[in-house]
Structure 1
Amino acid sequence: MEDLRAAMAKPKGAATVELNGNKPKTINGRVVLMKKNLTDVTDPAASLLDRVRELIHHRVSLQLVSATHVDFANWKRGKLSMPAYLEDWVATLIPITAKEATYSIAFEWDAETMGVPGAFIIRNHHHSQFYLKNVTLYDDHGSPWVHFDCNSWVYPTNRYTYNRIFFSNKSYLPSDTPEALRDYRMEELENLRGNGQKGELKEWDRVYDYAYYNDLGSPEKGPEHARPVLGGSAKYPYPRRGKTGRAPNKKDPNTESRLSGLDIVLLNIYVPRDERFSTVKFWDFLAYFLKAVSQTLGTAIDDRNILSFNSLQDVLDLYEGHIKLPNNDTLKGIRNAIPWTLVKELLRNDGEKFMKFPIPAVIKEDKNAWRTDEEFARETLAGLNPVIISRLREFPPTSKLDPEEYGNQHSSIIKEDIEKNMNGFSVKEALDDNRLFILDHHDGLMTYLRRINSTSTKTYATRTLFFLQDDGTLKPLAIELSLPHPQGDKHGSVSKVFTPEEGGIGKSIWQLAKAYAGVNDSGYHQLISHWLNTHAVIEPFIIASNRQLSVLHPIYKLLHPHFRDTMNINALARMLLISANGVVELTVYPRNYALEMSSAIYKSWDFTEQALPADLLKRGMAVKDSRSPNGISLVIKDYPFAVDGLEIWSAIETWVTQYCSIYYPSDEAVQKDNELQSWWEEIRNEGHGDLKDKPWWPEMSTKHDLIQACTTLIWMASALHASVNFGQYPYAGYIPNRPTVSRRFMPESGTKEYAELENNPDLAFLKTITPQDQTMIGVSLIEILSRHSADEIYLGQRDTPEWTSDEKALAASERFRDRLIEIEKNIVTRNNDGSLKNRTGPVKVPYTLLYPNTSDYSREGGLTGMGVPNSISI
């Protein structure tokens, strides 16, 4: 190569160094990073101190590592350049908020004797950390030559026992890794595993390891605050979480101690630093968290003093700015302690105000349409939990509970209950014609119902039957409400069946029956469809990927965008939401048994059934059809979740197939990939170790195994999560539509509750469902969870166009994005088709939860009700 220095168009500030009177060859580069800024409340003087030190001596050095030329004196590793230093650190202003800065750097490097750089070692001798985004080296014509996509926080060297190394954006299977980089690749993985590091992990530790869910309880506060350890036992199986290394609880050594004090205020729970929210997202999240706190100050859950809404107008007042808060000394003290000017600055200028909730979509066009049977049924196909409804294949519905332990749990619904509303069909005819469907929450709840109803909750295990009409809509036929037998579990259940009524008290009773079914579905949605089946089960895959797949591995590059922020939001959930007396326990009907109940359901979790086509077949919502693109045909043609979802599934599968085929020409290549095999073995034996003996685990011995596993993971982390998360506020922000709690049983004739239902049905309804205090907390929570962050990255997008140097992979990625744009157009067309009545329904809310948002590069956040992020990022 010609003298690089002479021919290259250098970035500003690049330097050349003379040795013995001769000018060495020089490579110029650009470094993009983000300094620690003044909004870091944990160390506000850090940036100033770094600037002072930089005046004395350059504090950040980079050292290139050759990918092609080995230094035998360096244990056959790549040849190293002399250290080079960042220029103009002092001249760059300290930002008030997070902003990127660009620095020039120049390396002594002779391509003829040193080859092509494949990595670099960086040393940070400053007081504080910085976020290293990327490094680009330029060739002798001033064009980009080698790019390093870093996206990592680099702490001071005294925080590490090893060198921080970053690799170029070229992918290698382990066997194809250049000899010069091989040891660096293996050592970096060892560093991320932590080698059994003991003690509490700190923010600069980069350790990915496993732990049980033993951090949910606070037994030192009393037995009512204790919770069982989830994971590691046949009784309470569970996916693993990220290790924090905190000390055991002094009261119970099997329980990990919980955070307290300032750590809670700063949301400071350990996850590897690169897994934490970006600075932009953290402040966005904190702003809305403060808003939620301000809206619920003084609110406390007290079973002895529960305040109901007096009318539906009281509920509407939440969105019309008439919320009343207690005016007491505690509230005043908290308000005075919070720097409200700072809070006001942190809140994005989106037109929203404190003490006022946005109007949920479900009541935006029509305040009463949610009460209709048509909308109640439609939301099982296009609402926030469209993944539970299944086709009824036998009548009456049966139970899978062990009759030796739970007696007769089969349904008591008889054909006379439902045939009167089946448009002339008999039960047999409807079964044969695939017209009967069920929302079945009986078995999953019945085994816990006796304990749940010993709390302030008073609810039922429900079964709801629907009939598919000729226009594609579902009609509710019956709701069965079941309780454990008063003489004991072995005596089975006691059930009552309710059917639609058009007027009088029968109509009010039917409305209550729908509410009990809605309560069941709300709890199952939050604990299983949302938390367990996306957040919890994905975390072990993230941990294993970082422990076993090098950043150089093509599968790591494929999956990494789909893991963004998940460990952070899960850690926050364990700290604030799903812990003992956390928000979920306070606002969802299973109360203290919420996570324990999800453990019982995890026993039957099957990774292969998380694939959308397999899920639809399992639920009977589709039948096998070799003529269809996905090999299945939907039973309900107008099933918005499934129709949109199958298009996205197919697009993901095509993209993954094309990508994997670049690197794996045969099944043998999959089998010989030692990192891939270790990854899959660890997921099965460690991450999901309680289910390791299940026969359904793929062997990971073929390209098909790999493609299906990666497609399923991407689907779960992106579209599946989007479909059950971002509809929370649009549908459940109005609590009468999706109540989370029921506080009293169906009133019996002759009681004062029955008389109240007859005289004032709305008041009786509101006294039964979620009260004011729980509504305020619950709605505040789902407002946060339903928001897209300002820096959201959607399916089909990447945080940088230079994520790989492989042109074939980039071309396949572009085809994937183009296909998603076509899907967006298809969704808009379907939503505008008046014959597809399930797309909008009586509430006039178009189904956009699986609208990818790929073409929207403005990346506006907020309560959009649309968009499929790459990952479980909230």
Structure 2
Amino acid sequence: MSFQTITTRRRGTTVNWTSRNGAPDSPDSIDDLRTAKEDYQLVEYVHGLPSHVKTLPKKEKFSLFEYFRIRGLLLVLAIGYAIDRFFTRAWKKLPDLFNVYGLIFRKPSTAEIWRDDAFFARQRLTGVNPFVIELCKELPKKMTENLNIREASLKTVLQQRSGRADFTLETAIQENRLFIVNYTILDGMFSQFGVCAPIALFLVDANKELMPIAIQLHQSGESNPLFLPNDPSWLMAKLWFNHADSSFQESFSHLGVTHLLMESVDVVTHQNLAPSHPVFEILAPHFHYLLAINTEARSLLINKNGIVDKTLSIGRDGMIEIIRRRLVEWRMDTDGILPTDLKKRGVIDDGILPGYYYRDDALLVYEAIHKYVKTCVEIHYDDYGNNGRHRVSDDTQLQNWVLAIISKREPVGGGCEIQGLPMDDNGETISTCGQLIEIVTCIIYICSVRHAVTNFPQYDQYGFQPAYPVGMRGTPPQDPKAELTATAIINAIPPKVTCLLEMLIMKFLSTRNTKLLGNFDKDIIPFPCDAAVTQFQKDLHEIAEKIEERNKIRKYPYQWASPDYIPNSISI
């Protein structure tokens, strides 16, 4: 969708909608809304997944320039793929993996540090999936037996990591230094999709650096030992854990909650809010090209026998199963609103988990978005209708929009079925500016910051297969004491041709193609919000400078939550 195709009008200094021909409730706007309901229709893609637009409207298509830019980029990457596929040696030894890097596919920095435990831990904090690590307040019962079996060896690990002879897991819990990633959501998927449901424990060590201390690759069952850092099979256990993490990231953190869920929100926004409605105008830049890129993905990426089936070992069906499982649990109030999500996971305090730069930087941007949305909303609305402003409860289009967001999905029509919106007690309406601000802030945050954080580092993280495998072959290790060979690693990761295709896709997805957050095309944001936009841009500039200063003193700089790297929308 080109911004020029969105029908917006410059507003005067008043906000009395009925005084303007272009008001949301004017005859022209009602006609526009009636047409939009015909052009933007929701249909079910796969049962249990977010609904999608039935047919891509013409004005939502990529511009001619963008269409050829994408094709040109893919052509260049395809040339690099062909060269590496046919003119580099087969992978028989680990050094052979480096032969594919050159001018088009640069060598990711992860290729040099993929064995390091510190890097493995940082992937939970600043990788493509920094949304799952939690403060461990009690040891999971499914690990108890293994922890008891390996108590003596684990004691040695704890002493090494903490620098204290008397340090125990209970001590780590009491001092808020023990953290966990527990993929219970993947339980039962190994037999069909080849993905483990692991549990990993991490400790903030004596140097205030997060380090892994134990991995269990399955929730239960036989031949399910505990792997520790001193075990010969530890590296292979990390690969299988990362395979589970990447499977969840690609399925839900990336595709499910950003691309697919926000597409359904995009469609119901067009269905229920006139183009001149203030909330439509605030959200419009953050839906730019979303429907277009998702339509492309359904025809090339996540279609049957598409690229996902060729690169991810869980395949399309595995991705669908993960999205279906997680979507049932996902709530806007606890998962979509950043401060609440961090608080729920016990990691809101920056003194709790050092090095959690996603949290530290993203909170700054979230607060700036919230401030901007609050200013815009309060220009148009007041809870009591003061100074000629509208009450949220009196806005029929707005109420219909919110109702569509929470309504159940249907094979044809229906809504987004998003849970956890800040609703009134009746569960069907909103009546305050505060409720509206939370909803709009969450949508903008997911379409901008959250997508940027999980999408754009993909080539850096996934470009060297052993660092973060999206595909694994064979069976997970069952003996912590079994010696690990380089040949075993080569045999565990996908063959060269599969990895090259993955590199091509990750390189493509890691490119940006729309304006950065807060940089809106002229006339998209209405006149009364001009000052708010200017302040928003100023706030984002200051945040980018602050993050740049932080990165000067960080041992491992983190750029992905900086406004300098965050586009307005999901367009790639």
* TM-score computed with the length of structure 1 as normaliser: 0.59
Q: Which residue pairs with 1:378 in the alignment?
A: 122
CA 852–749 in structure 1, closer or farther in 2 if over 3 Å, else same: closer
Deviation per residue, 1:159-215 (Å, 9 max, x gap): xxxxxxx55222899972337551111011001111xxxxxxxxxxxx0010001xx
Q: Which residue pairs with 2:571 in the alignment?
A: 873
**Secondary structure in 2 aligned to 1:437?**
strand
Cα distance in structure 2, aligned partners of 1:569 and 1:667: 41
Cα distance in structure 1, aligned partners of 2:218 and 2:442: 36
Contact residue 373 and residue 440 of structure 2 kept, 8 A? yes
1:115-154 matches, cutoff 5 A: 151-152=4-5
Contact residue 449 and residue 460 of structure 1 kept, 8 A? yes
CA 496–702 in structure 1, closer or farther in 2 if over 3 Å, else same: same
Cα distance in structure 1, aligned partners of 2:10 and 2:401: 21
Q: Which residue pairs with 1:849 in the alignment?
A: 560
Deviation per residue, 1:85-137 (Å, 9 max, x gap): xxxxxxxxxxxxxxxxxxxxxxxxxxxxxxxxxxxxxxxxxxxxxx9x8xxxx
In the alignment, does 2:447 pair up with 1:703? no
The counterpart of 2:336, out of the listed 610, 616, 622, is 610
Contact residue 459 and residue 506 of structure 2 kept, 8 A? yes
What is the CA-CA distance between 1:483 and the residue it aligns to?
7.2
Partner letter of residue 340 of structure 2?
Answer: A
What is the CA-CA distance between 1:445 and the residue it aligns to?
1.4
Partner letter of residue 319 of structure 1?
Answer: Y
The counterpart of 1:740, out of the listed 454, 467, 470, is 470
**Secondary structure in 1 aligned to 2:569?**
coil
Deviation per residue, 1:625-678 (Å, 9 max, x gap): xxxxxxxx6521431000000000111111111111111122660000111111
Partner letter of residue 41 of structure 2?
Answer: D
Contact residue 189 and residue 547 of structure 1 kept, 8 A? yes
CA RMSD of aligned residues (A): 2.8
Cα distance in structure 1, aligned partners of 2:229 and 2:314: 27
What is the CA-CA distance between 1:299 and the residue it aligns to?
11
Cα distance in structure 2, aligned partners of 1:571 and 1:785: 15
The counterpart of 2:534, out of the listed 789, 811, 814, is 814
Deviation per residue, 1:368-426 (Å, 9 max, x gap): x221111111121011211111111211x146xxxxxxxxx977434725333222322
What is the CA-CA distance between 1:594 and the residue it aligns to?
2.2
1:501-512 matches, cutoff 5 A: 501=230, 506-507=231-232, 509-512=233-236
Q: Which residue pairs with 2:200 in the alignment?
A: 464
CA 290–476 in structure 1, closer or farther in 2 if over 3 Å, else same: same
Cα distance in structure 2, aligned partners of 1:312 and 1:770: 13
Q: Which residue pairs with 1:212 in the alignment?
A: 44
Partner letter of residue 366 of structure 2?
Answer: W
- Corresponding residue pairs, total: 543
* Bigger Cα displacement from structure 2, 642-651 vs 583-592: 583-592
In the alignment, does 2:147 pair up with 1:413? yes
What is the CA-CA distance between 1:597 and the residue it aligns to?
2.7
Cα distance in structure 1, aligned partners of 2:450 and 2:493: 28
**Secondary structure in 2 aligned to 1:439?**
strand
Deviation per residue, 1:461-480 (Å, 9 max, x gap): 21111001243311110110
**Secondary structure in 1 aligned to 2:466?**
coil
Q: Which residue pairs with 1:781 in the alignment?
A: 505
Q: Which residue pairs with 1:191 in the alignment?
A: 35
Contact residue 208 and residue 543 of structure 1 kept, 8 A? yes
CA 209–634 in structure 1, closer or farther in 2 if over 3 Å, else same: farther
The counterpart of 2:59, out of the listed 242, 266, 274, is 274
Q: Which residue pairs with 1:495 in the alignment?
A: 224
* Bigger Cα displacement from structure 2, 737-746 vs 476-485: 476-485
Q: Which residue pairs with 2:137 in the alignment?
A: 393
Please identify which structure carries the higher helix content: 2
The counterpart of 1:671, out of the listed 385, 393, 404, is 393
**Secondary structure in 1 aligned to 2:294?**
helix
**Secondary structure in 1 aligned to 2:218?**
strand
CA 167–383 in structure 1, closer or farther in 2 if over 3 Å, else same: closer
Q: Which residue pairs with 2:173 in the alignment?
A: 431
The counterpart of 1:241, out of the listed 30, 36, 52, is 52
Contact residue 405 and residue 418 of structure 2 kept, 8 A? no
Q: Which residue pairs with 2:371 in the alignment?
A: 654
Runs of at least 5 residues in structure 2 that lack an aligned partner in the other structure: 386-390, 425-429
Cα distance in structure 1, aligned partners of 2:418 and 2:363: 30
Partner letter of residue 872 of structure 1?
Answer: I
Contact residue 202 and residue 210 of structure 2 kept, 8 A? yes
Q: Which residue pairs with 1:450 in the alignment?
A: 191
CA 769–673 in structure 1, closer or farther in 2 if over 3 Å, else same: same
What is the CA-CA distance between 1:494 and the residue it aligns to?
4.9
What is the CA-CA distance between 1:298 and the residue it aligns to?
11
Partner letter of residue 44 of structure 2?
Answer: Y
What is the CA-CA distance between 1:290 and the residue it aligns to?
2.4
In the alignment, does 2:456 pair up with 1:726? yes
In the alignment, does 2:326 pair up with 1:601? yes
Cα distance in structure 2, aligned partners of 1:690 and 1:276: 23
Seq. identity, %: 27
Q: Which residue pairs with 2:97 in the alignment?
A: 315
Cα distance in structure 2, aligned partners of 1:376 and 1:385: 12
In the alignment, does 2:74 pair up with 1:289? yes
* Bigger Cα displacement from structure 2, 769-778 vs 708-717: 769-778
Deviation per residue, 1:589-636 (Å, 9 max, x gap): 31243213321221111122211111111222126xxxxxxxxx6521
What is the CA-CA distance between 1:750 and the residue it aligns to?
13
What is the CA-CA distance between 1:460 and the residue it aligns to?
2.7
Q: Which residue pairs with 1:545 in the alignment?
A: 269
Contact residue 456 and residue 509 of structure 2 kept, 8 A? yes
* TM-score computed with the length of structure 2 as normaliser: 0.88
In the alignment, does 2:361 pair up with 1:644? yes
**Secondary structure in 2 aligned to 1:586?**
helix
Runs of at least 5 residues in structure 1 that lack an aligned partner in the other structure: 1-130, 134-149, 154-165, 195-206, 214-229, 232-236, 245-270, 301-306, 321-351, 400-408, 454-458, 486-492, 624-632, 841-845, 854-866
What is the CA-CA distance between 1:548 and the residue it aligns to?
1.0
Cα distance in structure 2, aligned partners of 1:357 and 1:293: 11
Cα distance in structure 1, aligned partners of 2:51 and 2:478: 46
Q: Which residue pairs with 1:169 in the alignment?
A: 10
| Greater relative CO (CA pairs within 8 A, separation 6+) | 2
Contact residue 281 and residue 526 of structure 2 kept, 8 A? no
Q: Which residue pairs with 2:388 in the alignment?
A: none
CA 684–586 in structure 1, closer or farther in 2 if over 3 Å, else same: same
**Secondary structure in 2 aligned to 1:478?**
strand
Cα distance in structure 2, aligned partners of 1:661 and 1:821: 23
Q: Which residue pairs with 1:339 in the alignment?
A: none
Cα distance in structure 2, aligned partners of 1:871 and 1:827: 21
Cα distance in structure 1, aligned partners of 2:355 and 2:499: 33
Please identify which structure carries the higher strand content: 1
Cα distance in structure 2, aligned partners of 1:284 and 1:427: 53
What is the CA-CA distance between 1:308 and the residue it aligns to?
7.1
Cα distance in structure 2, aligned partners of 1:429 and 1:521: 27
Cα distance in structure 2, aligned partners of 1:817 and 1:640: 22
Q: Which residue pairs with 2:427 in the alignment?
A: none
Deviation per residue, 1:468-504 (Å, 9 max, x gap): 124331111011022774xxxxxxx652111012xxx
Cα distance in structure 1, aligned partners of 2:14 and 2:181: 46
Cα distance in structure 2, aligned partners of 1:446 and 1:574: 27
CA 212–186 in structure 1, closer or farther in 2 if over 3 Å, else same: same
